[in-house]
């Protein structure tokens, strides 16, 4: 497509990808269900089950929290936000390995939890190992680790 419409071939890749993305977004307005109540592909029994599951899950999530601009302003006006003495690029690059590992662990725990069907037990093991590691880190003194 090099030269079509006066555009180089590489530009057409972005144009076609953009058109496809916009068409998918428009189609998703009619394809995706807004909520299980309006999903045509679910039976009544499945609808009730999904709604109950969502209600039980929302007890432990932040889904019910209301956005407050006060929290944004509190973080922006906190002096510690502006006094940091590091370069933003270097600080952001230092966080990459941690988030990459967190992504891999999240995926592994999700797959394992779905396969065995006991997310609670997995969370208890992870919490226990985290508590142990935190206590070990707090026990570090003079470069030496003291464990009970």
| pLDDT given for residue 37 in this prediction | 77
Which residues, 6 or more positions from 40, have their beta carbon under 8 angstroms from its beta carbon? 33
Could you tell me the residue ranges of all domains in the chain? 66-147
In degrees and rounded to multiples of 5, residue 40 shows phi and psi of -75, -20
Structure tokens at 119: 């997310």
pLDDT in the model for residue 148: 54
Which regions of 19-133 does DSSP assign to beta strands (E)? none
| Residue 17: per-residue pLDDT | 94
What is the spatial distance between Cα 73 and Cα 43, in angstroms, rounded to a whole number?
46
Tell me how far apart the alpha carbons of residues 48 and 55 are, in angstroms, rounded to a whole number. Answer: 11
Tell me: pLDDT of 92 over 80.
no
């Amino acid at each position: 497509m090099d030269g079509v419409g006066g555009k180089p071939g590489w530009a057409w890749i972005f144009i076609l990808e953009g058109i496809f993305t916009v068409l998918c977004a428009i189609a998703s307005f009619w394809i995706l269900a807004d909520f299980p109540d309006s999903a045509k592909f679910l039976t009544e029994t499945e609808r009730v089950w999904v709604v109950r599951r969502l209600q039980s899950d929302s007890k432990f999530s932040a889904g019910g929290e209301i956005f407050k601009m006060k929290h944004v302003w509190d973080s922006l006006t906190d002096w510690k936000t502006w006094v940091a003495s590091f370069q933003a690029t270097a600080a952001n690059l230092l966080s990459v390995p941690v988030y990459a590992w967190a992504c891999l662990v999240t995926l592994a725990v999700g797959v394992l939890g779905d396969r065995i069907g006991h997310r609670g037990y997995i969370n208890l093991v992870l919490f226990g190992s985290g508590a142990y590691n935190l206590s070990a880190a707090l026990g570090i003194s003079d470069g030496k680790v003291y464990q009970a």
